Amino acid sequence: MMHARLVGTALAVWMLVAFLAPSARAQGDYTDTPGVPEGMPGAARMPALVEAYNSGDADQIGAAVRAHFSGAFAEAPAHEHAEVWGRHLASTGPLEIVGFRTYDPPRDQLVAILRSTVTGGYHAIVAEVEADEPHMLTMMYFAPARRPSFLEPVEPLEGEALGEAVDALIDRMTEADMFSGTVAISKDGEVVYTRAAGLASRRFDVPNRMDTKFNMGSMNKMFTAVAIATLEEQGKLSYDDTVGAHLPDYPNEDVRDRVQIRHLLSHTSGMGSHFTEEFMNSSKVTYRSIDDYITLFVDDELAFDPGTRWAYSNAGFYLLGKIVEAASGTSYYDYVRESLCGPAGMGDSDSYDMDIPVKNLAIGYTPGGVSLNKDDDGRRWLEGRGWTNNYFLHSIKGGPAGGGFSTSPDLLAFAKALQGGELVSASTLSMLTSAKPELGSEGYGFGFGLAEHPVLGARYGHNGGFPGINAELRMYPHAGYSVAVMTNMDGAASAVAQQIEMMLAGQ
């Protein structure tokens, strides 16, 4: 249905911008305007939308959408809007309008700048506006925002002042039930801040500790990329190799003969994901090995010619895991333990089987829930459930594309070993963390997300996200900082990591 796709697109756009911020979000020529300016089409509608957003109530959100939007967006079921808005609210807390962006020349787009009353972070609601009276809105999505230029400048924080500011942030977020996890910050390789808060198990009231293991989500992709790089340095593979050079019996001829390792590493292969309908509607127990996951996408056609554009692909990283096994002669899991976790001193990092008890491992929690029993819209939202665990949504065993576990201190150990030349050479690290525009990958290297901060300089790392999972590792090589945040809830790590970045930069 068209209206459902529109709502889904809004969520997808928000997630993409959040992943790529700040380098990839549009800057443009604009003037920040405090308050609700007169004569700006659609601006007067924004306070009512923000009030509905802050309520988190599906009925109020639905009423606000119907009152201020037209077309297919307004016709979408209220629960679909409430799901998108509610998940965003869970990571931002209540928002207040601090200004709008005005463009020269004007455009048919309304951008409201908002600040979280909990985190202090800045966000935007971007809406399309009809040109004619009464200037109804036709579409909207959420995006990160810069600190408005009309606000007084702030000084960068470091040392004790940084620690106090992060503590205050974690205190506010924990009190609002918006944070559960750990934070660790290093400067020039030395840990300067650690903090654990919240519960690893809400059922048994077990508090998080600094050595609590959290699901990394897609952060495993960094480990897979480094594993591939070590094999390249050993001469056991080349980034120009096709899949077939190492997996000659791979059944999909198009993938086998046309897709190169560099395409897999940069998400430019044209492959898709293992999160298929079959996967989501079947027992996760049946997917434990890399081969099990490959069955989910092995017959899929390429979406585009390899190396021509960027599209995030979990499937591609599962193939990289198989290539690691073929080139190394050992299992992917053993190779990562021996070539990466061991040298870096990451004793609390691995891809654990979730049906086997693992000590001190956090359970993921997500607000509300999703039933996989289908209704007319293909899924049924479970409303009024509060926090639900993600046992039956995620993988039973992580792998090359994500789903492994680590700790914030282990992630800082990985950052130190990576940047210190203990895992790969300096030239290889530069190659891994450089954009690949020739492949259509401007904001992603080989297994690492990239950004350029106007104050802190280059940034690379990765995040991970899924219901009940959010983790961030951000490395700032020029500024000397690394920031690791791991949480067992939606969106919390990204919110904290972004605020720490603002503190370090004085924004």
**By percentage, how much of the chain surpasses pLDDT 90?**
70
Looking at residue 6, what is its pLDDT? 33
86 within domain boundaries: yes
Residue 290 has pLDDT above 80, yes or no: yes
With beta carbons less than 8 A apart as the criterion, state whether 389 and 363 touch. Answer: yes
CA distance 72 to 81: 12
Each residue's pLDDT tens digit, 99-124: 998 776 666 788 999 999 999 999 99
The residue among 205 and 19 whose pLDDT is bigger is 205
56 lies in some domain = yes
- pLDDT at site 380: 46
The pLDDT of 176-204, averaged and rounded, is 97
How much is the pTM? 0.87
**Mean pLDDT in residue range 240-249:** 98
Angle at 446 between CA 413 and CA 420, to 5 degrees: 30
User: Which pLDDT score, from 0 to 100, does residue 361 have?
Assistant: 96
Residues 475, 462 contacting (CB under 8 angstroms) = no
Cβ atoms 495, 118 nearer than 8 A: no
Residue 13 lies in a domain: yes
Angle at 320 between CA 317 and CA 325, to 5 degrees: 135
Domain extent, residue 73, equals: 2-144
29 burial level (CB within 10 Å; 0-12, 13-18, 19+): exposed
Mean of all residue pLDDT scores within the chain: 88
How far is the C-alpha of 217 from the C-alpha of 395, rounded, in Å? 10
Question: pLDDT of 461-476, one tens digit each?
Answer: 999 999 899 999 999 9
Which of the pair, 170 or 379, is modelled with greater confidence?
Answer: 170
Is 35 within a domain? yes
Q: Examine the pLDDT at 20 and tell me if it is beyond 50.
A: no
Tell me the mean pLDDT in the region 348-354: 94
Mean pLDDT of 334-354: 96
Which of the residue ranges 34-38, 52-56, 327-331, 392-396 has the most confident prediction, judged by mean pLDDT? 327-331
- Tell me what the mean pLDDT of segment 396-412 comes to: 95
Any domain includes 36: yes
- pLDDT at position 494 is 93
3-state percent helix, strand, coil for the chain, nearest multiple of 5: 35, 25, 40
- 427 contacts: CB under 8 Å, gap ≥ 6: none
Number of domains in the chain: 1
Residue 251 falls within a domain, yes or no? no
Contact status, residue 160 vs residue 173, Cβ threshold 8 Å: no
In a domain, 421, yes or no: no
Look at 30-44, 176-190, 240-254, 422-436 and tell me which has the smallest mean pLDDT. Answer: 30-44
Q: Is the pLDDT of residue 26 over 70?
A: no
pLDDT(19) > 80: no
For residue 54, the domain's CATH number is 3.10.450
Over residues 190-216, the mean pLDDT reads 97
Amino acid at site 407? T
The residue with greater pLDDT, 273 or 208, is: 208
Residue 237 in this model has a pLDDT that exceeds 90? yes
For residue 277, pLDDT beyond 90? no
User: Percentage of the chain surpassing pLDDT 70?
Assistant: 89
pLDDT value of residue 332: 97
Determine contact, residues 52/60, Cβ cutoff 8 Å: yes
Q: Is 15 among the domain residues?
A: yes
Cβ atoms within 10 Å of 489's Cβ, excluding its own = 27
